[in-house]
């Protein structure tokens, strides 16, 4: 077992600082950028004509500009910028990315339809014929067409109903085609956009915007991970079966404490073993980071997670991170409830070990189907005994009936529940149910801390 240390908890407590989420300022900045795009369009529109053709062309130009701006946001949100990942939260950034992607595709499709429709009316030609003319004769339009088709395909495979039926690895590598699609569509914007032809200031602004997000992407998705892995030289030390279908992977390396990882965070892991080299998956730390040792604990739910049990000692590990904002720094008060379901115990086990709290102020409630599924239970009991914390569980009955956790029942288990910060981690259905229970029990939403990657 990885031993709990009071020194580690004291270090965590010293690291906690009140933090204000940058989400509101970032959203304000995003909308300010959209307003600036609108101004670019308005400034280059000497008059608003009343003809149908002019209205369609104006709307096509505006949706094109907004689509180009939103695409830049999509790329920035893919860059895994630490300030966003750690303070805003990886789940919120992922939702922003998904939402921005949907808006971008809708705007681009609207731009294509409106613009070609306007040209068709202007030339008095059929839509299909005008489409062929635009694609084959306008500058950079063949590249833009290919890029647009790629964006639409990526949007379709990222839709929830399709995404759930695909292997994660297949979806991930198709998603990477976004970079190619953006590159192909970028040049058309400058070559044919009325706002950019003859306007060097507008062209410079667009170059700076796309250049900035490209630099962020290259820096945080490529150069920083390369530097991290060359510096820390991580390898698998051992694998340990914790419960049926649940395995822990111990990872060693050089000066791992300098990674800056905290309990509650996760890395994206790539294990350089046969059949696993091209898969990168997010797994949370299941114990407090040590100077030469990290640990993840994973439930086998797919091909990648199931293969972890067969990893051999010495296997090279490629990691990116740390990411995530569900750390002790989110806490607003002194008392804490950790509410885990299934494999969601992994980040909460690390927090149970390190969360600064007086004796009696820390509680962990573990929800599982069966007693045998209570992974890491011996460690949790040892931590609870050492820290004077409370440890409880709720498992299904012999007949498979689920124990109902109600607002009143939870308040009986955890007195003055509304004065607790609650860290919630578990399957999506359980997390949604528990969130509603906590709110009904009087816990303010600002004190419920949860990260979800269901999009």
Instruction: Tell me which of 292, 323, 354 is where a domain ends.
Output: 323
Please give the structure tokens belonging to residue 284.
Answer: 């949370």
Would 67 be classed as within a structural domain? Answer: yes
Query: pTM above 0.75?
Result: yes
Would 18 be classed as within a structural domain? Answer: no
Please give the structure tokens belonging to residue 381.
Answer: 């009991």
Domain residues for the domain of 208 are 23-227
Please check whether residue 293 is in contact with residue 256, taking contact to mean a CB–CB distance below 8 angstroms. yes
Question: Which of 326, 317, 236 minimizes the C-alpha distance to 280?
Answer: 317
The one-character DSSP state at 3 is P
Would 424 be classed as within a structural domain? Answer: yes
Neighbours of 194 (CB within 10 A): 16
- With b for 16 or more beta-carbon neighbours within 10 A and e for fewer, the 199-236 pattern comes to beebbebbeebbeebbebbeebeeeebeebbeebebbb
- Same structural domain, 248 and 281: yes
Instruction: Tell me which of 269, 301, 323 is where a domain ends.
Output: 323
Would 11 be classed as within a structural domain? Answer: no
Cα separation, 251 vs 238, whole angstroms: 7
Q: Which pLDDT score is estimated for 6?
A: 53
- Same structural domain, 258 and 172: no
- Same structural domain, 310 and 333: no
Q: Which pLDDT score is estimated for 424?
A: 92
Instruction: Tell me which of 227, 257, 281 is where a domain ends.
Output: 227
- Same structural domain, 243 and 186: no
Question: Which of 334, 349, 340 minimizes the C-alpha distance to 368?
Answer: 340
Cα separation, 60 vs 35, whole angstroms: 17
Domain count, the chain: 3
Would 348 be classed as within a structural domain? Answer: yes
- Same structural domain, 223 and 81: yes
Cα separation, 55 vs 272, whole angstroms: 56
Question: Which of 448, 426, 451 minimizes the C-alpha distance to 436?
Answer: 448
Question: Which of 207, 192, 96, 108 minimizes the C-alpha distance to 151?
Answer: 108
Cα separation, 420 vs 355, whole angstroms: 13
CATH number where 424 lies: 3.40.50.80
Sign of the Cα torsion 155, 161, 166, 168 reads positive
- Same structural domain, 237 and 365: no
φ, ψ for residue 383, nearest 5 deg: -65, -45
Sign of the Cα torsion 433, 439, 440, 441 reads positive
Run of H or E including 433: helix 428-440
**Strands of 229-334, DSSP E:** 235-243, 246-252, 266-271, 281-284, 293-299, 317-323
CA distances from 146 to 178, 179, 228, 355 (A): 12, 13, 36, 51
DSSP string, 336-361: EEEEEEGGGHHHHHHHHHH----TTS
CATH number where 237 lies: 2.40.30.10
Q: Which pLDDT score is estimated for 82?
A: 84
**Is the backbone peptide bond immediately before 322 cis, with ω within 30 degrees of 0?**
yes
What is the SS3 string spanning 129-182? Answer: HHHHHHHHHCCCHHHHHHHHHHHHHHHHHHCHHHHCCCCHHHHHHHHCHHHHHH
Residue partners of 28: CB distance under 8 A and separation at least 6: none
- pLDDT (tens digit, 0 to 9) for every residue of the chain, 455 residues total? 444 455 544 444 443 333 445 567 888 889 999 999 999 888 887 766 667 888 899 999 999 999 999 999 999 998 988 888 777 778 888 888 989 999 999 999 999 999 999 999 989 999 999 999 999 999 999 999 999 999 999 999 888 778 878 877 788 888 889 999 999 999 999 988 888 988 899 999 999 999 999 999 999 999 999 999 999 999 999 999 988 888 999 999 999 988 989 999 999 999 999 888 888 888 999 998 888 899 999 987 777 788 898 999 999 999 998 998 888 888 888 899 999 988 889 999 999 999 999 999 999 999 988 888 888 999 999 999 999 999 999 888 877 677 888 899 999 889 889 899 999 998 888 888 999 999 999 999 889 998 765 54
- Same structural domain, 108 and 174: yes
Cα separation, 111 vs 339, whole angstroms: 47
- Same structural domain, 86 and 218: yes
Please check whether residue 421 is in contact with residue 443, taking contact to mean a CB–CB distance below 8 angstroms. no
Would 7 be classed as within a structural domain? Answer: no
The one-character DSSP state at 426 is S
Would 396 be classed as within a structural domain? Answer: yes
- Same structural domain, 362 and 415: yes
The two beta strands, 420-425 and 335-341, are: parallel
Q: Which pLDDT score is estimated for 17?
A: 37
Would 86 be classed as within a structural domain? Answer: yes
Cα separation, 246 vs 266, whole angstroms: 17
- With b for 16 or more beta-carbon neighbours within 10 A and e for fewer, the 14-42 pattern comes to eeeeeeeeeeeebeeebeeeeeebeebbe
- Same structural domain, 411 and 333: yes
Residue given tokens 């073993």 in the structure block: 273
Q: How far apart are the first and last CA of the chain?
A: 35
- Same structural domain, 28 and 150: yes
Tell me, rounded to whole angstroms, the distance of Cα 219 from its chain centroid.
18
Kindly report the length of the chain: 455
- Same structural domain, 180 and 241: no
Please check whether residue 171 is in contact with residue 163, taking contact to mean a CB–CB distance below 8 angstroms. yes
């Amino acid at each position: 077992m990885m031993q709990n240390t009071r020194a580690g908890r004291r270090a965590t407590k010293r690291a906690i600082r009140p933090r204000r989420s940058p989400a509101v300022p970032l959203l304000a900045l995003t909308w300010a950028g959209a307003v600036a795009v609108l101004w670019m369009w308005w400034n280059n529109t000497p008059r608003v004509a009343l003809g149908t053709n002019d209205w369609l062309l104006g709307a096509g130009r505006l949706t094109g500009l907004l689509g180009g701006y939103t695409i830049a946001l999509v790329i920035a949100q893919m860059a895994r910028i630490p300030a966003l990942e750690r303070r805003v939260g990886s789940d919120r950034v992922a939702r922003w990315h998904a939402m921005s992607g949907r808006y971008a595709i809708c705007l681009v499709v609207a731009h294509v339809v409106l613009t070609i429709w306007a040209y068709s009316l202007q030339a008095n030609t059929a839509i299909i014929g005008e489409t062929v003319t635009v694609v084959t004769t306008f500058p950079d339009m063949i590249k833009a067409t290919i890029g647009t088709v790629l964006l639409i395909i990526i949007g379709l495979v990222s839709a929830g109903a399709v995404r759930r039926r695909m292997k994660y690895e297949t979806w991930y590598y198709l998603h990477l085609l976004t970079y190619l699609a953006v590159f192909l569509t970028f040049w058309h914007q400058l070559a044919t956009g009325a706002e950019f032809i003859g306007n060097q200031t507008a062209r410079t602004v667009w170059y700076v915007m796309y250049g900035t997000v490209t630099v962020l992407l290259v820096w945080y998705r490529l150069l920083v991970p390369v530097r991290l892995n060359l510096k820390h030289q991580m390898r698998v030390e051992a694998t340990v079966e914790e419960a049926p279908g649940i395995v822990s992977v111990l990872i060693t390396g050089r000066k791992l404490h300098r990674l800056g990882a905290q309990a509650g965070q996760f890395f994206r892991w790539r294990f350089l073993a046969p059949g696993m080299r091209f898969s990168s998956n997010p797994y949370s730390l299941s114990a407090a980071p040590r100077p030469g040792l990290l640990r993840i604990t994973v439930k086998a739910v797919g091909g990648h997670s199931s293969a972890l049990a067969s990893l051999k000692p010495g296997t090279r590990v490629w990691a990116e991170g740390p990411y995530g904002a569900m750390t002790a720094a989110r806490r607003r008060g002194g008392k804490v409830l950790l509410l885990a379901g299934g494999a969601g115990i992994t980040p909460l086990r690390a927090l149970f070990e390190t969360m600064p709290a007086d004796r009696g102020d820390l509680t962990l409630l573990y929800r599982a189907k069966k007693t045998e599924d209570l992974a890491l239970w011996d460690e949790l009991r040892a931590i609870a005994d050492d820290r004077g914390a409370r440890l409880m569980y709720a498992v299904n009955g012999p007949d498979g009936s689920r124990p109902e956790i109600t607002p009143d029942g939870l308040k009986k288990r955890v007195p003055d529940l509304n004065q607790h910060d609650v860290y919630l981690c578990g399957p999506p259905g359980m997390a949604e149910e528990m969130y509603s229970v906590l709110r009904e029990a009087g816990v303010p939403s600002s004190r419920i801390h949860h990260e979800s990657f269901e999009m």
